[in-house]
């Protein structure tokens, strides 16, 4: 069967969680109803052998308590909002702080820690839904989110649709840690980004401006290079966050467009990221706990995964001049990201 499901445990508050498996040709994805997380994503390497290219855990308890947002859908608003407050039509709205004085990834229990309803949506697709209550995480409005995960001939497509009954903010991303070698250090991976600007950060990883040129800095990925080449450079931006953890402003384009290309250094597997979003966060797993047990008990740690999180820019709710990201009643949030794979 192209779409199957099985129990994956019960949360601490008594909610049953399932793992759904999607299959299409040589591709296979495991999706949890907890956090709509991509638990596994298997693609063929250059020898045709199935290779799991995302980090994950064996048990539900690890997803509940270990942190790191492994594979999770992140929201209501991905990334950081300064001082846990936002502006809506000129009014200051207090939010739930979850990282010091700031909010990260929607609050203490954002969408990554919620149980979604799930149903098959075709031979190789899964539809997940969650309704966030008015005030959840501090955000106004009851917001209904539908996430449709589809295996295509080339990879995995994620489509996010949301509506709200009040003016609110919505910024959904996926927080998979990719390792195209199937495990081990990922800093030998080569990366190209369709971006000539990045968002500089200060204390608390809060943006200090919308954009600055990448030219002449270690954050220049306009030419493909290994992540290891510059990650240890003497650069204030890298020292602040222990590596790469920055939003990149994608070069202007319309519709679904190529944003990034990541290539493993041992397996011949490469991945393209296509998106309708204006930004992408590069995060090199700087803060994963060393020796964390992963799938099959194999440990992982810092710099053993690469996140490429498509998004609106961090702290945009406090900077309307960076673009209108407010979702209003009667409006619709509708964005797509695709991960496309090949092996050479």
Number of residues in the chain: 344
Q: Please, which residues bridge with residue 158 across strands? A: 149, 337
The token pair at 147 is 């996430």
Identify the active-site residue in 105, 175, 189, 335: 175
User: Cis ω on the peptide bond leading into residue 76 (within 30° of 0)?
Assistant: yes
Identify the active-site residue in 246, 309, 335, 338: 309
- Tokens 């939010």, located at residue: 95
No. of helices (H) and no. of strands (E), the chain: 3, 29
3-state secondary structure of 249: strand
Report whether 278 contacts 284 (CB < 8 A).
Answer: no
What is the Cα gyration radius of the chain?
Answer: 19
Beta strand 197-198 with 269-275 is unpaired
Q: What are phi and psi of 262, to 5 degrees?
A: -115, 135
How many C-beta atoms lie closer than 10 Å to residue 35's C-beta? 27
Per-position DSSP letters for 22-74, written without gaps between them: EEETTEEEEEESBTT-EEEEEEE-TTS-EEE-B---SSHHHHHHS-S-TT-EE
Distance CA 264, CA 80 (A): 29
Q: Cα 166 to the chain's mean position, in Å?
A: 25
Distance CA 141, CA 88 (A): 12
309 annotated active-site: yes
Q: Which residues are catalytic?
A: 175, 309
């Amino acid at each position: 069967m192209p779409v199957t499901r099985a129990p994956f445990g019960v949360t601490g508050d008594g909610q049953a969680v399932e793992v759904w498996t999607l299959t299409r040709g040589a591709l296979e994805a495991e999706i949890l109803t907890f956090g709509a997380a991509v638990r596994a994503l298997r693609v063929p390497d250059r020898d045709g052998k199935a290779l799991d290219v995302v980090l994950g855990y064996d048990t539900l308890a690890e997803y509940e308590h270990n942190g790191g947002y492994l594979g999770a859908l992140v929201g209501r608003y991905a990334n950081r909002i300064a001082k846990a407050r936002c502006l809506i039509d000129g009014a200051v709205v207090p939010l739930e702080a979850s990282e010091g004085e700031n909010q990260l990834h929607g609050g203490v229990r954002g969408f990554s820690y919620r149980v979604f309803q799930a149903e098959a949506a075709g031979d190789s697709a899964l539809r997940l839904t969650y309704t966030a209550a008015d005030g959840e995480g501090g955000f106004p409005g009851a917001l209904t989110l539908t996430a449709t995960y589809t295996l295509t001939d080339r990879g995995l497509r994620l489509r996010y649709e949301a509506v709200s009954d009040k003016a609110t903010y919505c910024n959904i991303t996926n927080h998979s840690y990719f390792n195209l070698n199937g495990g081990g250090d990922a800093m030998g991976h080569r990366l190209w980004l369709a971006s000539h600007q990045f968002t500089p950060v200060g204390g608390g990883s809060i943006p200090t401006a919308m954009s600055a040129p990448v030219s002449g800095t270690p954050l220049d990925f306009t030419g493909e290079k290994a992540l290891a080449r510059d990650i240890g450079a003497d650069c204030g931006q890298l020292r602040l966050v222990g590596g790469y953890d920055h939003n990149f402003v994608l070069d202007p384009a319309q519709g679904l467009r190529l944003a990034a290309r990541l290539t493993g250094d041992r397996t011949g597997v490469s991945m393209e990221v296509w998106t309708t979003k204006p930004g992408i966060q590069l995060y090199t797993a700087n803060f994963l706990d060393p020796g964390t047990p992963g799938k099959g008990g194999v440990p992982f740690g810092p710099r053993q995964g690469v996140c490429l999180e498509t998004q609106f820019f961090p702290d945009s709710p406090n900077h309307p001049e960076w673009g209108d990201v407010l979702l209003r009643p009667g409006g619709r949030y509708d964005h797509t990201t695709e991960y496309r794979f090949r092996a050479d």
